């Protein structure tokens, strides 16, 4: 895992994976256990409902991981990351930035806006800034701000997914970008992680597999729905946030809405959903097209171990083929 990755990632991770920050899903426990297992754990800052709670979370994560490194100096304990919405509509932006300055997360992932100011702040304390992008124009704009990494959010990703094919997107970005590249979209097992690396990605961005974990904040109903759903149970719509995203159809139907009648957020009538007591952010559940790979709930440590075994098996399976090709 060398190449463009700095030592704090290459030397401290068991797998080239970021457990993606998921709204109302990623918890401090998921971050901590993910890092201890050897993958980069992350969470959206807005998952903490107040600045006071956010400070508690950041303090706990930084202290727990520091203690783990002291107890196990030979263990690979990955760096942690936070996700910051940099769009002007984020009313807590300034307060969250102050906590970033105080607790210095090694990696800050920016979304929905220009990360210029964040890049300057994070670089001052030696951290990295990754920016998620879903099209070529946004990728070029983010690259121009001096970010360290681009997260290419491709078609089939959970949450706010893009529409671009990963082969095309990766190739186009590589024409102007030499920094860290992270691939997102339907990466669900060890073979997928290896495939992402083969395509030129330094890290794989995985979300859906981490929803059905013991440390996730997702409800039991949400996790159960994931284990029984397939990609045919997804719908790509902008009805709930104004931005297109992939959602589980059964959660929409259970909320009292007709998936065939969904309109844009500005015009949709949520009266039926409100009458049933459902809330869009809480009860309409997201998932990526890799949902087929979610078969059971498990602790994060078990999931990472399973992914690592799959990755190593996939890598080992290529060795005889490569040897044979060289001998020709």
pLDDT above 70 for 271 = no
SS3 content of the chain, % helix, strand, coil (to 5): 45, 15, 40
pLDDT for the residue 265: 56
pLDDT for the residue 308: 97
Question: How does residue 243 score in pLDDT terms, banded at 50, 70 and 90?
Answer: confident
pLDDT above 80 for 126 = yes
Q: How far is the C-alpha of 37 from the C-alpha of 17, rounded, in Å?
A: 11
Alpha helices in the chain (DSSP H): 7-10, 28-37, 51-71, 93-103, 116-124, 136-144, 166-174, 190-198, 208-211, 220-228, 249-254, 271-275, 280-283, 300-327
Q: What is the mean pLDDT of the chain?
A: 91
* Torsional sign, CA 94, 62, 204, 46: negative
**What count of other Cβ atoms lies within 10 Å of the Cβ of residue 128?**
23
pLDDT above 90 for 108 = yes
pLDDT above 50 for 328 = no
CATH fit for domain 7-217, picks 3.40.50.2300, 3.30.365.10, 3.20.20.70, 3.40.449.10: 3.20.20.70
pLDDT digits (tens, 9 = 90+) for 31-86: 999 999 999 999 999 999 999 999 999 999 999 999 999 999 999 999 999 999 99
Its pTM surpasses 0.85: yes
Taking the CA atoms of the chain, what radius of gyration do you get in angstroms? 19
């Amino acid at each position: 895992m060398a190449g463009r990755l700095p030592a704090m990632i290459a030397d401290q991770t068991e797998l080239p994976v970021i457990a993606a920050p998921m709204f109302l899903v990623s918890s401090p426990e998921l971050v901590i256990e993910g890092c201890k297992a050897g993958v980069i754990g992350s969470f959206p800052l807005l998952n903490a409902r107040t600045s006071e709670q956010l400070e508690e979370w950041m303090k706990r994560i930084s202290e727990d991981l520091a203690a783990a490194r002291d107890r196990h100096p030979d263990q690979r304990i990955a760096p942690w990351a936070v996700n910051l919405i940099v769009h002007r509509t984020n009313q807590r932006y300034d307060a969250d930035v102050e906590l970033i300055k105080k607790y210095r997360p090694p990696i800050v992932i920016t979304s929905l806006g220009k990360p210029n100011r964040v890049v300057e702040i994070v670089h001052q304390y030696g951290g990295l800034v990754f920016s998620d992008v879903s099209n070529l124009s946004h990728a070029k704009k983010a690259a121009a701000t001096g970010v360290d990494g681009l997260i290419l959010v491709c078609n089939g990703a959970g949450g706010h997914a893009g529409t671009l094919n990963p082969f095309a997107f990766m190739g186009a970005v590589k024409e102007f970008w030499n920094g860290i590249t992270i691939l997102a979209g339907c990466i669900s097992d060890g073979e997928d992680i290896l495939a992402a690396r083969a395509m030129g990605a330094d890290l794989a961005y995985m979300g859906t597999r981490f929803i059905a974990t013991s440390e996730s904040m997702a409800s039991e109903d949400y996790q159960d729905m994931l284990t029984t759903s397939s990609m045919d149970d997804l719908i790509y719509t902008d009805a709930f946030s104004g931005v297109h995203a992939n959602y589980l159809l059964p959660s929409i139907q259970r909320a009292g809405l007709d998936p065939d009648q969904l309109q844009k957020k500005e015009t949709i009538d949520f009266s039926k959903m409100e009458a049933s007591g459902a809330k869009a952010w809480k009860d309409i559940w997201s998932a990526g097209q890799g949902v087929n790979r979610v078969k059971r709930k498990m602790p994060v440590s078990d999931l990472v171990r399973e992914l690592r075994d799959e990755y190593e098996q996939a890598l080992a399976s290529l060795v005889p083929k490569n040897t044979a090709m060289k001998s020709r």
